[in-house]
Amino acid sequence: MGVDRTPGGSSGGAAAAVACGFTSFELGTDIGGSVRMPAHFCGVCSLKPSYGVVPQRGYLDHVGGGTTDPDINVFGPITRDPDDLELLLGVLAGPEPEREHAWRLDLPAPTARSLADYRVGVWFDDPACRTARDCLPLLTGAADRIANEGAKVEESHPAVEFGAQVGLFMQLITAAISPSLPEGLAEAASGSHLAWLRAAEERTRLQAIWTEWFTDFDVLLCPVMPLAAFAHDQSDDMMTRTVTIDGATRPYLELISWTGLIGVVGLPSAVVPIGRTAEGLPVGMQIVSPYLHDRRSVHVAQLVRDVAGAYEPPPASR
């Protein structure tokens, strides 16, 4: 990836530093994909933990913040290898300071030993957010190599409507980030408490659908973003920017659809690199598991590393 391409955001600098070997790991926050998207663009690994697993104290997104856990947001590591995701999850996960005297966190260890023990669903494309033609073969190729190791791989996903669930994410994330907006805009963006409560009820309904689907599958594989790293764009307002994917102009904010789809229901997702496009741009893949089964996502990432791709130093640093 050259300097003319974005490293992703918001932890793009952190992911680029990890990719270049400047640091062993970095930590970031992920409310819309901010540890997963940079990992995808920079060819490294990351973990978005289950919501609530890592305390968010000190998250200063606005003056007076850092004392509560913003909705959807999580803290997660960015690394070059999935083994380090496991190490850092053990360091970061735990109860909030005010609960640690009585609460304990015991994330279940994976029971599978190899890819042959896993039931894998794949959801690599959707009419509401088409995956670029240069990325899709890398995703399907990774799934094929996983299947060749004996995993049961099937095109399947929870019975949710992609656009509707992403729309719910957009509604809830707007309310979640509203305290960081200018005063007048913050009030308009936050919406009413009643609207948030109804949205939370809809999220609970969707979470039940995902939970039911995970009784038949252990993990879901899906894209991180619909395209690889694109050229920097500082023009106009971010809300009005567009990108071109396979000749079609698409809204800038559509790029967080796949990460928002997973984030809004609070599920853990590990990202692992699976190869590079013909232009040499890294592509990553989300490995999503049931709520609180973070270690399962990391374990599958470790196994995928061995058969479907791993970190490669950027060409300029070799």
For residue 317, pLDDT over 60 is answered with no
What would the pLDDT profile of 21-38 be if each residue is shown by its tens digit? 999 999 999 999 999 999
245-262 core/surface letters (b: 16 or more CB in 10 A; e: else): beeeebebbbbbbbbbbb
State the pTM of this model: 0.96
- Strand-strand pairing, 74-79 and 242-245: unpaired
The pLDDT value given to residue 147: 98
What would the pLDDT profile of 173-232 be if each residue is shown by its tens digit? 999 999 989 988 999 999 999 999 999 999 999 999 999 999 999 999 999 999 999 988
- Annotated domain spans of the chain: 12-317
User: What is the percent of the chain where pLDDT is above 90?
Assistant: 86
318 pLDDT band, cuts 50/70/90, is: very low
The mean predicted confidence, pLDDT, of the chain is: 95
Q: Report the pLDDT averaged over residues 282-301.
A: 98
CATH 3.40.640.10 fits 12-317, yes or no: no
Tokens of 140: 């399907």
Q: Report the pLDDT averaged over residues 41-70.
A: 91
Q: How far apart are CA 259 and CA 255, in angstroms?
A: 8
The pLDDT value given to residue 61: 82
What would the pLDDT profile of 120-158 be if each residue is shown by its tens digit? 999 999 999 999 999 999 999 999 999 999 999 999 999
Task: Please give the full DSSP string across 217-276, using - where no structure is assigned.
Answer: -SEEEEESSSSS--B----S-GGG-EEEETTEEEEGGGGGHHHHHHHTTT--EEEEEEEE
For residue 70, pLDDT over 80 is answered with yes
Task: Please give the full DSSP string across 64-76, using - where no structure is assigned.
Answer: T-SSS--SS-EEE
